[in-house]
DNA sequence: GTGAAAGCGCTAACAC
DNA sequence: GTGTTAGCGCTTTCAC
């Protein structure tokens, strides 16, 4: 594998000069510049990125922490980051945690080992206190709002959107409203859903809250539980459109009509939701990811709120 | 940022000894080992990966080339690669091309620059002749079969699966069968679909072939074209379950019944297919991705065929 | 304009 | 068991 010295020798110049033409410095005579370029072509030379990264102390690589990589929501944020990465000549390393806090810490330490210039956290497993120390080594951007001054945030206004969603349901005459969540109370968005519910309807009956919902099947199961209650809900706010679709399907299999017998509101405007005409709260996760990436490369600690929008279809 | 010499000084040993404890070499006295470990803890030291990579000539990073990152099929292969990467202590770099051949070449040269230990190509943009030269710099694994001895392959037996699918349709009494594809004749899988069709039904009428199908909406549009023909097809083989769902929806909107009025066969066993009960040809893309990763880290040039399976649901 | 020399942070002979 | 020395491939003062 040819290196800079091989080129230098072949072109009859010093390594310094080769480096200069490589980096488009001025003050290189046309003659030598040409000689160097020829040598580079002939030996099919490419500079070693590790050496450059070592000296520069940066890699032009950004890590994106996601809990699962087959989850529509996190994929959307990753998608946004990838969009921007191409634009700016960065590469994106995917860092799946499966909500393993230790794994997450390992990933964060990649800032310290200089593998990564910055890290974007789409959903965290550790408490902030364990995460913030790593900001010493490089920017950490969160896709969830946090007060910590060291952490840049590109976040959706989850709480407001939840309140909005529940209000919408209430305005439509629903009083018996259930909802699904992904994780339990260790998750901020679950807590926010709870609180928003309380604000609008008061404390939710525990049978009206179904957690561990990620997929279509989970939605189906949630509906099974919910629709066998004596006090059936008349509306359900699902934590994703796939989950909402699962609910939809079970309800329809029971001969129920959507939205007459049961109103359904989903989240994230996923393809499956459009297929089933499910109204949804779109948190614009792709934009969240794009903005997060922008903050990452700007080493910015700003807190930027991405607006959500409610998309009305026929399930409500 | 502390480096190995700081640790050495603090522990009162040489850098070599520090390196030795870092890499768990034997022949270090317990005493010095302890001293080094203490120093490491006190200074919160982590070795610089760039320096290590530079010296070792490898990065424990594998790149995965995908055309689009929001496409279910490619995401599945990426998913497979990620699964294995964690197991083996590797990181995965996502390399989206949007089928831009120049971009792909740029990515391939990351082997040469020593950024990547290997590259997995889920779908290629260049001719093989342009790709194979890069195998000099590191393993390239393809998720499509190719004869080139330098390229390892983890592939699905697409052709056989297509023939099988068309046969299945024929056995079910269908003679007027249409199909959709993603790209045109620049894509091997499109060509294979054509050939398989010819083998079973003879040359396809050009109205029966709809390309540029990626999403639900594309399927919807395909159905619009197909179902206004005088000679309507009685069965459609879609290139994905989302596309099949789009077709499904348009057909149903016309008052048609699936499968009585129109049989539908999808591909890749995507969530949306299960939601709509769409029979599908599952090429087991996650396994393809996992196997590809395995080949990559083993620097193997084997050609491994992943079996497909047909999943019977209610659309046929 | 150009090159010599130092150094980024680490590992690996080799000698003792 | 341990340290000295020489690099890995590049960039960057600093002279000339």
Instruction: For residue B182, give the CATH number of its domain.
Output: 3.40.50.2300
The contacts of residue B127 (CB under 8 Å, 6+ apart) are: none
pLDDT over threshold 90, residue B29? yes
B118 lies in the same domain as B206: no
**Predicted confidence (pLDDT) per residue in A169-180, tens digit:** 999 999 999 999
- Tell me which residue has tokens 């196997």: B291
Kind of pairing between the strands at A279-282 and A309-311: antiparallel
CB–CB of B272 and A271 under 8 A?
yes
Mean pLDDT confidence for B121-150 = 97
Question: Is pLDDT at B30 greater than 80 in this prediction?
Answer: yes
Q: Is residue B103 part of a domain?
A: yes
B207 burial level (CB within 10 Å; 0-12, 13-18, 19+): middle
Let me know if residue A314 belongs to a domain: no
Using the beta-carbon criterion (under 8 Å), do B54 and A48 form an inter-chain contact?
yes
DSSP B136: G
The 3-class secondary structure across chain A, one letter per residue, is CCCHHHHHHHHCCCHHHHHHHHCCCCCCCHHHHHHHHHHHHHHCCCCCHHHHHHHHCCCCEEEEEECCCCCHHHHHHHHHHHHHHHHHCCEEEEEECCCCHHHHHHHHHHHHCCCCCEEEECCCCCCHHHHHHHHHCCCEEECCCCCCCCCEEEEECHHHHHHHHHHHHHHCCCCCEEEECCCCCCCHHHHHHHHHHHHHHCCCCHHHEECCCCCHHHHHHHHHHHCCCCCCCCEEECCCHHHHHHHHHHHHHCCCCCCCCCEEEEECCCHHHHHHCCEEEECCHHHHHHHHHHHHHHCCCCEEEECCEEECCCCC
Asked if B165 and B267 sit in the same domain, the reply is yes
Distance in angstroms (rounded) separating the CA atoms of residues B283 and B147: 20
What pLDDT is attached to residue A307? 97
Predicted confidence (pLDDT) per residue in B87-102, tens digit? 999 999 999 999 999 9
Q: How many angstroms separate the CA atoms of A216 and A136, rounded?
A: 41
CB atoms within 10 A of CB B84: 19
Do A189 and A43 share a structural domain?
no
Q: Which two tokens stand for residue B8?
A: 């050495």
Measured distance CA(A228)–CA(A250) in Å, rounded: 11
Residue nearest to nucleotide D2 (CA to C1'): B17
Residues A148 and A162 in one domain: no
- Per 3-state DSSP, chain B is made up of helix, strand and coil in percentages (nearest 5) of 45, 15, 35
CATH number of domain containing A47: 1.10.260.40
Same domain, A204 and A277: yes
| Same-domain check for residues B265 and B289 | no
**Range 9-68, chain A: CB under 7 Å to any strand C atom:** 12-17, 20, 27-29, 31-33, 51, 54-55, 57
Count of Cβ atoms closer than 10 Å to residue A126 Cβ:
17
Q: CA at B48, C1' at C15: how many angstroms apart? A: 28
Cβ contact A166:A194 at 8 Å: no
In a domain, B26, yes or no: yes
Q: Are B74 and B123 in contact (CB under 8 A)?
A: yes
d(CA A303, CA A295): 9
Q: Do B152 and B299 belong together in one domain?
A: yes
- Please indicate, yes or no, if residue A253 is contained in any of the structural domains: yes
- Residue B315 within any structural domain of the chain: no
Residue of A nearest to B63 (CA): A93
B313 in any annotated domain: no
| Residue B119: DSSP 8-state | E
Q: What would you report as the CA-atom Rg of chain B, rounded to the nearest whole angstrom?
A: 26
pLDDT, position A97: 97
Indicate whether A10 and A28 sit together in one domain.
yes
Query: Whose C1' is closest to the CA of B114: which nucleotide?
Result: D9
B114-130 per-position pLDDT tens digit? 999 999 999 999 999 99
Position A313 in a domain:
no
**What is the reported pLDDT for B72?**
85
The answer to whether the beta carbon of residue B229 comes closer than 7 angstroms to any atom of strand C is no
Question: Sorting pLDDT into bands at 50, 70 and 90, what band is B183?
Answer: very high
Distances (CA, A) of A87 to A82, A83, A126, A167, B42: 9, 7, 31, 40, 40
Question: B112 vs A61: CB contact, 8 Å cut-off?
Answer: no
- Which among B99, B262, B75 has a CA at the least distance from the CA of B172? B262
Residues from chain A contacting residue B78 (CB–CB below 8 Å): 69, 94
Q: Is residue B106 part of a domain?
A: yes
Phi, psi of A230 (to 5 degrees): -65, -45
**Same domain as A262, residue A166:** yes
User: Residue B1 — pLDDT band, cuts 50, 70, 90?
Assistant: confident
Q: What is the mean pLDDT of each run of 10 residues along chain A (316 residues)?
A: 91 94 92 94 95 95 94 93 95 97 96 97 96 97 97 96 98 97 93 97 97 95 97 97 95 96 97 93 98 97 98 96
Measured torsion, CA atoms of residues B28, B30, B31, B37, in degrees rounded to the nearest 10: 80
Query: Which of B79, B65, B68 has the alpha carbon at shortest distance from B285?
Result: B79
DSSP secondary structure string for all residues of B14-81: -HHHHHHHHTT-S---HHHHHHHHHHHHHHT----HHHHHHHHT--SEEEEEES-SS-HHHHHHHHHH
Label the pairing between strands A209-210 and A177-180: parallel
Cα torsion at B210, A83, B69, A165 (round to 10°)? -90
Residue B8 contacts residue B18 (beta carbons within 8 Å): yes
CB contact under 8 A, B48 and A113: yes
User: Is pLDDT above 90 for B256?
Assistant: yes
- Say if the Cβ atoms of A249 and B54 lie within 8 Å: no
Q: Beta A152-156 vs A177-180: how paired, if at all?
A: unpaired
Our count of domains for chain B comes to: 3
Same domain, B170 and B262: yes
Whether residue A230 is found in the same domain as residue A217: yes
CB A137 within 8 A of CB A112: yes
- How many Å does it take to go from CA B57 to C1' C12? 14
Domain hosting residue B274, numbered range: 158-282
Rounded CA-CA distance B174/B236 in Å is 10
* Same domain as A38, residue A72: no
């Amino acid at each position: 594998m040819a290196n800079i010295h091989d080129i230098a020798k072949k072109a009859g110049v010093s390594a310094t000069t080769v480096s200069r033409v490589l980096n488009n410095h001025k003050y290189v005579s046309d003659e030598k510049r040409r000689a160097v370029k020829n040598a580079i072509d002939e030996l099919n030379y490419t500079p070693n990125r590790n050496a450059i990264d070592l000296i520069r102390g940066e890699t032009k690589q950004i890590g994106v922490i996601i809990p699962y990589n087959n989850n529509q929501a996190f994929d959307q944020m990753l998608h946004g980051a990838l969009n921007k990465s191409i634009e700016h000549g960065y590469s994106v390393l995917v860092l799946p945690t499966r909500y393993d806090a230790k794994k997450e810490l390992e990933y964060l330490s990649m800032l310290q080992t200089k593998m990564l210039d910055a890290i974007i956290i789409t959903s965290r497993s550790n408490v902030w206190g364990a995460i913030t120390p790593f900001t010493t080594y490089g920017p950490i951007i969160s896709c969830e709002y946090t007060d910590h001054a060291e952490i840049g945030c590109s976040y959706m206004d989850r709480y407001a959107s939840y309140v909005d969603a529940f209000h919408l349901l209430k305005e439509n005459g629903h009083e018996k409203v259930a909802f699904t969540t992904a994780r339990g109370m260790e998750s901020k968005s679950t807590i926010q859903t709870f609180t928003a519910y309380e604000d609008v309807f008061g404390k939710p009956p525990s049978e009206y809250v179904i957690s561990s919902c990620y997929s279509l099947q989970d939605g189906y199961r949630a509906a099974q539980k919910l629709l066998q209650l004596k006090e059936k809900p008349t509306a359900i706010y699902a934590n994703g459109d796939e989950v909402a679709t699962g609910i939809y399907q079970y309800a329809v299999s029971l001969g129920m009509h959507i939205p007459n017998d049961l109103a359904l509101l989903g989240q994230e405007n996923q393809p499956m939701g459009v297929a089933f005409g499910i109204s949804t709260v779109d948190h614009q996760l792709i934009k969240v990811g794009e903005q997060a990436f922008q903050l990452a490369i700007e080493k910015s600690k700003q807190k930027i709120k991405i607006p959500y929008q409610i998309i009305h279809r026929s399930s409500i």
